[in-house]
Amino acid sequence: MKILTSEEKTVVFKDFGDIWENKTARSILFLVPFMMTLVLPVFFLILLFHVPSDQIKGMEQMLQLLPAQAADLNGRQSVFYLVTNLIFPMFFLMIPLTSASICAASSFILEKERGTLETLLLTPLSVKRVFKAKVLGGIFLSALTTAVSFLLFSIVMAVGDLLLSMPFYLNWNWLVLFFFLSPVITVFSVLFMALTSAKSVSNTESFQTSGYLVLPIVLLFMGQFTGLYQVNAILLLWISGILFAADLVLCFFSVRLFTAEKLLR
Amino acid sequence: MSEIAIHAQKLSKSYNGAVYALHDLSLEIPSGAVFGFLGPNGAGKTTAVKLLTGLLKPTDGSCAIFGISPVKKPCEVHRLCGAVTETARMYGRLTGMQNLIFFGQVIGLTKRECRQRAETLLKSFDLWDVRDKCLSSYSTGMAQCLSMARAMIARPRLLLLDEPVSGLDVESALRVNTMMTNLAAQEGVTVFLCTHQLQYAQNFCNSYGIVSKGKMLACGDLESLSREVGIPLRARFRLREGQTPKHMECLNDGWWGSDLSEEEDMPDLLQNLVSSGFDVFEAQLVHPSLEDIYFKLIEWKGEET
Ligand SMILES: Nc1ncnc2c1ncn2[C@@H]1O[C@H](COP(=O)(O)OP(=O)(O)OP(=O)(O)O)[C@@H](O)[C@H]1O
Ligand SMILES: [Mg+2]
């Protein structure tokens, strides 16, 4: 069974073209991963090597957050460990979130604003198939971005770990984050943006709505600094599971909600 | 004639539940007809096209395109009909050629077929010189022509055109006319054309529906419409100066006019004139124009409500 028919593929490739030709979308698609996987980690590493060791001692309180298995790390190592596991995951999750949102915004909302969605719906492609092509296209592009970012990030981290002579950063948390949480967040963002496009909102407005998706992620990771809880693989799995269920619900609703009349209003 | 291209049964649409944009529209258009759907702004023409293409769901009533319901099977309807509406645009970043190829492929043609079709269409719409320019650099009229080419790319059996010539100059409008007329005559394509340009519609269509405020006021060909409205046929004669026939109205420049109850009366009238010794230079049978009928209808129905 083919996932996409050739007509649907034509739509997907046209959407890729739209995203590529859209300056804002293209720059966000490159800039966010670049910042999150290269600039910030490298900047942090440089900073870490320039801060004298005794100042790191001043971060005692923060170091209390270290889990047991990281107890025998020295000052620099433990700071790096903390940042890798407490802060960088948050940065990393911005990548599937923003890339999925921008892809979906471009292929749903911009297309509606420009009046081309109506033309597309006048073709023998049904609303459902247009929807499917656009959602899958958005998921594909943002999954690709996320995977490439993950590779880049791993290289930067490997260099950092080597310099600090620590074990490789990858642990269960990161594996769950990349293989479970990122995909469900991608799907969630694409569907969320697609649904907001059914309500008549402008492009800028919908980006503001997508800001609401960032907030829970930031809260989740920053909340760890209260010391009340730690984000671990099990918790991430739970969150992934919940989001997966939410994806299914969104998918169910959007298929029902999407009619030509609602989309074009 | 044979098949029914468009069938509407008490088709109604209300956007807000209170006011009907289209109310109880009943229509039957045979295949091969060129139907003019006429009405002032806000009459519900665009709404009708959107209902017929399934972009809107009717509030009441039903419609069918070649027997297929656009509500239940929009895709099959779209396979049979090409539609041009004012709001359906194409991609500004793509060239004219690319746009046509894209929509051709989405309809299911192969790339080769698309290219061939696009070439013919671009040439016949006089867009060949700008085929490799981005649509965003096209003028309104050029974009309009491209939309029409898009609607025709898969050789539809029905064309639904909403204000197709509103942005076109005389020359392009004429070209589009000729093309549609040929399509209708040679390939039996049915045309459903919405416009408020009456002169244009009269030249081009062979039957008409006149709507106002969502209600169909009258429907039929010119003859039946004029009969319904009660504007008679007229005979006009130009006679030698100074001659004054009886029972005729004096018009300007030596022309005389008289009402006819039917076309068949014309030869007798002419014969009478000649045999009574009048010198007839010119004789005309004047059908009431669509404009006369239209304004009379709008006036009437305005009084009723
Ligand atoms: N999306 C909409 N929401 C609410 N009302 C609408 C909508 N579209 C049209 N209407 C109303 O429906 C009525 C008919 O509109 P329609 O666009 O069908 O007119 P039209 O005959 O195409 O006019 P025009 O010649 O100006 O194009 C109008 O009174 C208009 O206000
Ligand atoms: Mg209109």
Domain match, B92 and B193 both: yes
Ligand 1 pocket, mutate which of B46, B51, B57, B59 (most atoms under 8 A from CB) = B46
Residue B170: is its pLDDT beyond 70?
yes
Per-residue pLDDT averaged across A29-42, rounded?
92
Per-residue pLDDT averaged across B61-71, rounded?
93
Residue A63: is its pLDDT beyond 70?
no
Residue B86 resides in a domain: yes
Pairwise CB contact (< 8 Å): A260 & B55: yes
Nearest CA in chain B to A21: B93
Domain match, B25 and B140 both: yes
Per-residue pLDDT averaged across B170-199, rounded?
88
Whether B46 lines ligand 1, by a CB cut-off of 6 Å, is yes
Domain match, B165 and B30 both: yes
Per-residue pLDDT averaged across B140-144, rounded?
91
Residue B250: is its pLDDT beyond 90?
no
Residue A151: is its pLDDT beyond 90?
yes
Domain match, B274 and B198 both: no
| Mean pLDDT computed over every residue of chain B | 89
The CATH number assigned to the domain holding B204 equals: 3.40.50.300
Domain match, B185 and B279 both: no
Residue B190: is its pLDDT beyond 80?
yes
Domain match, B60 and B139 both: yes
Q: Looking at residue B84, what is its pLDDT?
A: 93
Domain match, B208 and B261 both: no
Please give the residue that has the higher pLDDT: either B115 or A171.
B115
Q: How many distinct structural domains can be found in chain B? A: 2
Residue B202 resides in a domain: yes
Whether B15 lines ligand 1, by a CB cut-off of 6 Å, is yes
Q: Looking at residue A123, what is its pLDDT?
A: 93
Residues of B in contact with A17 (CB under 8 A): 93-94
Q: Looking at residue A12, what is its pLDDT?
A: 94
Pairwise CB contact (< 8 Å): B56 & A259: no
Residue B298 resides in a domain: no
Whether B21 lines ligand 1, by a CB cut-off of 6 Å, is yes
Residue B296 resides in a domain: no
Per-residue pLDDT averaged across A109-128, rounded?
90
Residue B302 resides in a domain: no
To which residue do tokens 């010391």 refer?
A227
Q: Looking at residue A145, what is its pLDDT?
A: 95
Per-residue pLDDT averaged across B113-117, rounded?
93
Q: Looking at residue B165, what is its pLDDT?
A: 82
The percent of residues above 70 in pLDDT, for chain A, comes to 89
The band of A150, judged by pLDDT with boundaries at 50, 70 and 90, is very high
Is the whole-model pTM more than 0.80? yes
What ipTM is given for this predicted complex?
0.87
Ligand 1 pocket, mutate which of B13, B15, B38, B217 (most atoms under 8 A from CB) = B15
Domain that holds residue B264: 232-287
Pairwise CB contact (< 8 Å): B103 & A123: yes
Nearest CA in chain A to B53: A122
- Atom 16 (ligand 1) nearest CA: B44
* Neighbouring-strand partners of residue B207: B35
Residue B294 resides in a domain: no
Domain match, B220 and B243 both: no
Q: Looking at residue B231, what is its pLDDT?
A: 82
Burial class of residue B83, CB neighbours in 10 A (0-12, 13-18, 19+)? buried
Asked which of A52-61, A167-176, A215-224, B197-206 is least confident by mean pLDDT, the reply is A52-61
Query: Is-contact B48 B194, C-beta < 8 A?
Result: yes
Per-residue pLDDT averaged across B210-234, rounded?
86
Residue A166: is its pLDDT beyond 90?
no
Q: Looking at residue A239, what is its pLDDT?
A: 93
Per-residue pLDDT averaged across A198-206, rounded?
66
Residue B1: is its pLDDT beyond 70?
no
- How distant is the Cα of B163 from the closest Cα of chain A, in angstroms? 16
What does chain A come to in residues?
Answer: 265
Q: Ligand 1: which atom is nearest the Cα of residue B13?
A: 12
Q: Ligand 1: which atom is nearest the Cα of residue B40?
A: 25
Q: Looking at residue B297, what is its pLDDT?
A: 84
Name the amino acid, one letter, at B180: M
Residue B96 resides in a domain: yes
Domain match, B118 and B241 both: no
Ligand 1 pocket, mutate which of B22, B47, B53 (most atoms under 8 A from CB) = B47
B144 touches chain A (CB under 8 A): no
Residues of B in contact with A263 (CB under 8 A): none
Domain match, B57 and B90 both: yes
B300 touches chain A (CB under 8 A): no
Domain match, B213 and B236 both: no
> Averaging pLDDT over each range in A36-50, A96-110, A175-189, A210-224, which range is the top one?
A175-189
Residue A201: is its pLDDT beyond 80?
no
Q: Looking at residue B169, what is its pLDDT?
A: 87
* Pairwise CA distance, residues A36 & A176, whole Å: 18
Residue A23: is its pLDDT beyond 70?
yes
- How distant is the Cα of B63 from the closest Cα of chain A, in angstroms? 16
Pairwise CB contact (< 8 Å): B106 & A6: no
Domain match, B206 and B242 both: no
